[in-house]
Amino acid sequence: MRTMMIDTVTALVIMALMIVTLLLVWLSLVLSSDEFAVSRVTRSSLNNKILEVQTDSELGHLVQHKRIDRIHRVQKMIADRSGTASACAFFRIVCNILSGVFVAAIAVEFSAPNWVVLIAGLFFTLIVAVISVLYRAHSPGLLRPEETMLGSARLLSLAVALTPFVNAKGRKNQRDHSTGTELSDDEELDRIQHSEGRSLVEQLVETPDFDPEVGEMLRNVLTLSDTLTREIMVPRTDMIYTSQNDTLLDLLQLCSRSGYSRIPVIGDDLDDLKGMAYLKDAVKATAFNPEARTRSITSICRDPMLVPESKPVDDLFHEMQRTRQHVAVVIDEYGGVAGLVTIEDAIEQIVGELEDEHDRVQHDEPRKVGRNEWRMPARTPITELEEIFEVDLNEDDVDTLYGLLTKLLGRVPIVGMSACTHGLRLTAVDSAGRRKKVSTILVQPQSDIMTNEGAADDSDLIGGNRDDENDDMRVQPSSQISGE
């Protein structure tokens, strides 16, 4: 009789342990689903839920009050997403461990050896952990996050209340690390989703069969929202512009030499922006009416698109698409012109450098093209120029040949412009890249130029023009091509 009673008690204990173990497994899955749902519930969706409950005439007053109270509980929990998710993770791990402990206790009741008890507890703990992780990816928290959290609002409130240490840490971490300020609910949700998106892209592009170039483009797309317009614009100092007093012929010549088809038109200074002049409009006005070349450039000016320099590149790109604008003037915080940006600049942030059939690649090293003439890359150091021509320029505020020519001209140089210093004439003869920046500069002694011009006069040549071996334009004296 006593043995029968012991067997009955043992069976009841084993049954109770099994029931508790199953409850712990169920609780682990629920917390796993809630942990996933916390990062997807928004405050606006919960506000909509409250409106639905309040406007549902079929619900009684008591039922409405209970549902609204449950929604308020969830609103308090998502105010600290990190803390709530950490509390769910903490108790999910505790449930996994306890389920393994109870399985080990069941093995003890069956008088199993110690090594079997340990293996049974450890093996069951690992199985429950794997199941809870796999379940989270297909749980209701993914498809119906609001209903998931509302269904277990009391359980989550208890978990959060029992883990004050985790909540305090979560509130401390819910900050924007770049500014040190507290993040709002929507900002925290955006940060979480953006981080998850980056992780998914990184996992995708690291697969062996994925195209590396496409992977780089995907990474670039994710950085568009973090890149500001000021980082991709052509700065104010490098802008090519024209005066409102110029004619359409001046615009045609400037577009031909610079390689640009859209030129800002200014008044007294660069901050006095009058509009944008388009090469297509100038060609349309003068193609069949040569007399129109003397018309003022203001007759074809269009209103410019203005954007702040703090505008994210993705917003800039969408706005230019929507307004069908390919160029915009960037304005700083004081209302002055900070630079110029094109839609190609935004596209290059995704696909990389763009070049067309007119873009040229500059030579890497200076080349001697005549007895005392040298074609030098625009980035050639001034010290190398001094060594070749044995002169001392004594220029401390510029380091390259391009910087020296810019300083001498007092403006951004374009192909054909030239200036003299210390007996040397520097002439811009070539451009490269989509931005048509001067890439090659011809350097020659002034004494040789005067001798060549005298010989040209004797031979009835005009203005000392000479053909360049790699350029389809003729280099003219600077007085004829100032572009002013």
Residue-wise DSSP of 1-58: -HHHHHHHHHHHHHHHHHHHHHHHHHHHHHHHHHHHHHTT--HHHHHHHHHHHHH-TT
Which pairing describes strands 374-377 and 437-445: parallel, antiparallel, or unpaired? antiparallel
Amino acid 114 reads N
CB 228, CB 258: distance < 8 Å: no
Q: Which residue from 417, 419, 304, 429 is spatially nearest to 370, judged by alpha carbons?
A: 429
b/e sequence 264-276, b meaning 16+ C-beta within 10 Å: bbbeeeeeebbbb
Q: Strand pairing partners for 306?
A: 329
Three-class DSSP category at 398: coil
pLDDT at 176 over 70: no
Confidence of residue 375 (pLDDT cuts 50, 70, 90): confident
Residue 298 tokens, joined: 């203001």
Question: What's at 432, amino acid-wise?
Answer: A
| Integer angstrom CA distances of residue 192 from 30, 82, 169, 174, 198 | 21, 10, 17, 11, 10
Residue with tokens 């509130």: 171
Q: Is the pTM of this model over 0.85?
A: no
Residue range 13-27: average pLDDT? Answer: 87
Which of 17-26, 181-190, 312-321 is least confident? 181-190
Tell me, rounded to whole angstroms, the distance of Cα 73 from its chain centroid. Answer: 37
The SS3 assignment for 85 reads helix
What b-and-e string marks burial along 125-153, b requiring 16 or more CB atoms within 10 Å of the CB?
beebbeebeebbeebbbeeebbebbbbbb
At 94 the pLDDT is 87
Q: What's the half-sphere exposure (Cβ side, CA atoms, 13 Å) at 408?
A: 22
285: which 2 tokens? 């006005």
Q: How many Å separate Cα 218 from the centre of its chain? A: 11
Q: CA 130 → CA 25, 41, 169, 222, 299, distances in Å?
A: 11, 25, 26, 31, 73
What type of residue is 103?
A: V
Proportion of the chain above pLDDT 90, given as a percent? 11
CA atoms of 170 and 174, how far apart (whole Å): 6
Q: How far apart are the first and last CA of the chain?
A: 117
Return d(Cα 274, Cα 296) in angstroms, integer. 13
* Domains present along the chain, CATH in parentheses: 2-174 (no CATH), 229-351 (3.10.580.10), 367-480 (3.30.465.10)
Predicted local confidence at residue 157, as pLDDT: 82
Report pLDDT for 479. 31
Of the pLDDT bands very low, low, confident and very high (cuts 50, 70, 90), residue 196 is low
Confidence bin at 305 (pLDDT 50/70/90): very high
Q: Is the pLDDT of residue 123 over 80?
A: yes
